[in-house]
Amino acid sequence: MRIVLVGPPGAGKGTQATRLAGKLSIPHISTGDLFRANISRQTELGKLAKVSMDAGNLVPDELTIAMAKDRMRQPDAENGFLLDGFPRNVSQAAALDELLKTEAITLDAVLDLEVPEGEVIKRIAGRRICRSRSAHVFHVSYSPPKKQGVCDVCGGELYQRDDDSEETVRKRLEVYHTQTEPIIEYYKTRGLAVTISSLGQVDEVTRRALEVLGREDDGK
Report pLDDT for 103.
84
Each residue's pLDDT tens digit, 203-212: 999 999 999 9
Question: Which residue among 50, 172, 207, 215 is the active-site one?
Answer: 172
Question: Which residue among 19, 127, 128, 208 is the active-site one?
Answer: 127
Report pLDDT for 147.
95
Question: Which residue among 19, 23, 88, 128 is the active-site one?
Answer: 88
CA 29, CA 23: separation in Å to the nearest integer? 15
88 catalytic residue (yes or no): yes
69 catalytic residue (yes or no): no
Report pLDDT for 199.
94
Question: SS in 3 state form for the chain?
Answer: CEEEEECCCCCCHHHHHHHHHHHHCCCEEEHHHHHHHHHHCCCHHHHHHHHHHHCCCCCCHHHHHHHHHHHHCCHHHCCCEEEECCCCCHHHHHHHHHHHHHCCCCCCEEEEEECCHHHHHHHHHCEEEECCCCCCEEECCCECCCECCECCCCCCEEECCHHHCHHHHHHHHHHHHHHHCHHHHHHHCCCCEEEEECCCCHHHHHHHHHHHCCCCCCCC
Report pLDDT for 219.
62
Report pLDDT for 80.
94
Report pLDDT for 83.
95
- In the chain, which residues have pLDDT < 50? none
Each residue's pLDDT tens digit, 139-163: 999 999 999 999 999 999 999 998 8
127 catalytic residue (yes or no): yes
189 to 100, 110, 115: CA distances (angstroms): 18, 12, 22
Pairing of strands 81-84, 2-6: parallel
Question: Which residue among 131, 147, 161, 170 is the active-site one?
Answer: 161
171 catalytic residue (yes or no): no
Report pLDDT for 213.
93
Question: Which residue among 13, 71, 122, 208 is the active-site one?
Answer: 13
